[in-house]
Structure formats: structure tokens, C-alpha cells
Amino acid sequence: MAFNPSKTFGQSDVLKTITPGVLIEILKPCRGFLEAVGLSLPESSDVEIDYLPLASILATPDERMDSHVIEGLHVITAVGRDENFDELLDMARRNFIEVDLEATACDLAARIWLVAPEMLQLKDRGQMVDRRRKFESFRARDPEVVVPLEKLPFDLSPLQMDLEECFQSKKRGIGCVVVRTDVGTEAHFLIQHGQPCKRVPSRKGAQSTCTLLRPEQTDKVIYDPVHNELRMNASGPWDLRLYREKFGRHLFGDPNMFVYAEKYTLAPLQRCGPAALHCRDVGGMERVWLVDLEYASDGPLNLVERVKADDVFQALAMKNRSIEPDVEIRRAAFEIKLQGASKPRPVEIQPRNIAKYGRGEEAAIIERWLHLREFVLVGAAAEDERFESVLALA
């Protein structure tokens, strides 16, 4: 897992957030290395840890250090945040981990790492996936067939085994894990699996060598019964087709339950102009700017033109121009100011079915605005493309 150790461990205050006795237990595999570089690790919490030199060593790790220790400290500090306290407390209780009244989020994460590191790793991977913005949508072939979340099967092992067989057939190694978490009205699924092996140059001390490794990929599939669709973030078209078929087969009893069909349109920008950015009727949203626009030109050689500004509509108006009604808009980027947020959130729409925006709590607000302003095709407008074959992804 790529991260910056100097940023994570460069300040001793980060390490001090972990209970000394628990930190000593985590660092035990590195005791010999630490002593070799001149740092004596206490045998118990009765002796104070020398945090400054420890932070300096961990900030610049080398290959002699135990990688599990470095990974553990990174995951602990990434997950051990106040906003995760309740979830960490639930993890601790499920693993019969003793929790005292003075426990902090980082304490909980550190104690969980010693007992069930895979749970903490999964939470960390989930946080990383939540930061991804690009999702592709697959709509239900029959819009009248909606499966409530409580009707989905709880046993995911058949789906997991089927996916693993497919990944193995593509030389992606053994092992696949599917985990479900319900978020509001949606079911979120994390899929962990291997990728093709890579051989990368590396160093072993002063020696130049090569390391063979199999990267791990974490994909995400979201089932949204409100809009009756699957939304996916995956590494490529093959994975998208695989999830569409396998999730449909194992969770809904129909491998063709969801189809690749047009969801988004940018026609409101041409039809309504600046009024397409109206958002006062959307709770939690303050303002929207159109900041980037790409459209196909009628020029030669498939020329694509671009307009980029702090406010595209205002910039065009100052030049007595507007968005031409007949051009094909390929992509539009917006900045959306949510109530209470310090900075605008970027949102990008690419017809036919690609949307890029954060999938946290703000996702429902953004999705509502897209529907109200008719950037999302519904009803008869969507029917023309509903039966488009998923093979169009190839």
C-alpha cells in the first residue's frame, strides 16, 4: 500500500496517540532492528518510550524493517480517527477486546490490529474506495422489478466463489472477498481480489534486485433500489461486465437483471442555459458553477473543443456567446458548494453513463440535484437506450 511514512510518522505526536503498552506490542517484531540502529525498545510500559528517535526511524523505513509493522501503523493512524470511533468500538466488542473509559479512536484501532488486523485493513480499503469518484451505472432491464435491501441474500459465499473462479481463469491468483455494508438506502459491496503479477525493480540494501508481486485491487459495487440500478467502480471493462452478470445472477436471480444503458445527458445546459444550474430547491446545496465543457466540433478529424473558466456561462456571456444548441457535449465539469463545506465539490458528467463525484454523505444531495435539473434520464427519455447490450463496453 503506497503512503508517505514521513508524513504519517514524522511527528512523534502521532505515535503518542497509541497507548504505550499496545505500541510496544505492535513494534515487537522490529525490536532487533531498532536496537541495531541504536534505539532500545522498553520491555513494558513502565519505561517511557523515546518517541523522537522512534518517529525519525519510522519516517524513513528501509527493507530490514518488518513490513507488517509499518503497514499496521499506517492503517492504525488512517482508520483511528474520531469519526470512526463508534465503528471501531463495535469491531472491538465483536472481537472481545477490552475497552476502558479513556480509550481513544487510535487506541481502539491499535488494539484491533493486534487481534483482527484484517478487519482494520478492510476498513482502510473501504475509506480509500470511498474517495474514488468515477462510477458507471447499469439500469434494471425491467424498471418495475425492484428488490428491497432486506430481500437480498445474506450469504455471499456463492457469489464470492464464482468471482474467484473467474479471476483465477484470468490469471489473477487465488482468493476473493466480498463484503456488504448498507449505507442509507443503498447496499455497498467491496470486492477484494488479485491482479496480474508484476515484476518491479527494487533494492536490497546496496544491491539492485527485482521483486515479483501480485497487486491487490478493491472494487466497489453499489445497489441503489431507489433508482433501481447498479453503480460500479472497477479497474476495467471486463470487471464491469463480470460484476453486472455475477451480481445479477447471485443476488437477483437473473444475470441480465441490469443492462448498460444511457443514464446521463447534458442537454439541459443547451436547453436551459444558466437556469440548469439552479439549486435553491435542493436542501444542503448553496450554489453550482459550470467550470469546464468539452464538445465535438463540426471541424475535421474528430476535433474536440473545450471551454474552461471559473464560470463558463458568465465567461461566454461576456463574449456575447452561448452554448450552441446543436453541438454534442462530451463532458461537463461543475463545482458544487454544499452548506457547511469550506470548499466546492467537483462533479463531472460524461454521457452516456459515467459520473465522477465523491460517494460520501454528499452523494445523495448531488444525485437529487442531477435528477431535478434533468441531467439524469428517466421515464420515456431513458427507454430508448434501456436495452443497449452490455457488450458496448468492450
**Length of the chain in residues, anyone?**
394
pLDDT for the residue 386? 44
State the sign of the Cα–Cα–Cα–Cα dihedral 250, 234, 194, 390: positive
Comparing C-alpha atoms, which of 200, 203, 201, 197 is closest to residue 215?
197
Q: What is the pLDDT of residues 127-150, one digit of tens each?
A: 776 666 788 889 999 989 999 999
Distances in Å between the alpha carbon of 124 and those of 88, 131, 213, 351?
12, 11, 21, 31
HEC profile of the chain: CCCCHHHHHCCHHHHHCCCHHHHHHHHHHHHHHHHHCCCCCCCCCCCCCCHHHHHHHHHCCCCCCCHHHHHHHHHHHHHCCHHHHHHHHHHHHHCCCCCCCCCCHHHHHHHHHHHCHHHHHHHHHHHHHHCCCEEEEEEECCCCCCCCHHHCCCCCHHHHHHHHHHHHHCCCCCCEEEEEEEECCEEEEEEEEECCCEEEEEEECCEEEEEEECCEEEEEEEEECCCCEEEEECCCHHHHHHHHHHHHHHHHCCCCCEECCCCECCHHHHHHHHHHHCCCCCCCEEEEEEEEEEEECCCCCCCEEEEECCCHHHHHHHCCCCCCCCCEEEEEEEEEEECCCCCCEEEEEECCCEEECCCCCHHHHHHHHHHHCCCECCCHHHHCCCCCCHHHHC
pLDDT for the residue 288? 97
* Most confident of the ranges 88-102, 153-167, 362-376: 153-167
**Residue 281 dihedral angles phi and psi, to the nearest 5°:** -90, 5
pLDDT for the residue 161? 97
**Contact present, 199 and 210 (Cβ < 8 Å):** yes
Q: How many CA atoms lie within 13 A of 6 on its CB side?
A: 1
Comparing C-alpha atoms, which of 162, 167, 188, 180 is closest to residue 249?
162
Find the mean pLDDT for residues 145-170: 95
CA dist., res. 216 & res. 388, Å (int) = 32
Q: What is the pTM of this model?
A: 0.70
Task: Identify residue 315 by its one-letter amino acid code.
Answer: A
Find the mean pLDDT for residues 143-170: 95
pLDDT for the residue 6? 54
Q: What is the pLDDT of residues 69-83, one digit of tens each?
A: 888 888 898 888 888
| Locus of grid cell 472481545 | 96
Q: What is the pLDDT of residues 191-208, one digit of tens each?
A: 999 999 988 888 777 788
Q: Is the pLDDT of residue 266 over 50?
A: yes
pLDDT for the residue 305? 87
Reading the block at residue 32, the C-alpha cell is 532487533
Q: What is the pLDDT of residues 298-313, one digit of tens each?
A: 767 778 889 999 999 9
CA dist., res. 273 & res. 296, Å (int) = 18
Q: How many CA atoms lie within 13 A of 257 on its CB side?
A: 23
Q: Is the pLDDT of residue 62 over 80?
A: no
CA dist., res. 309 & res. 290, Å (int) = 8
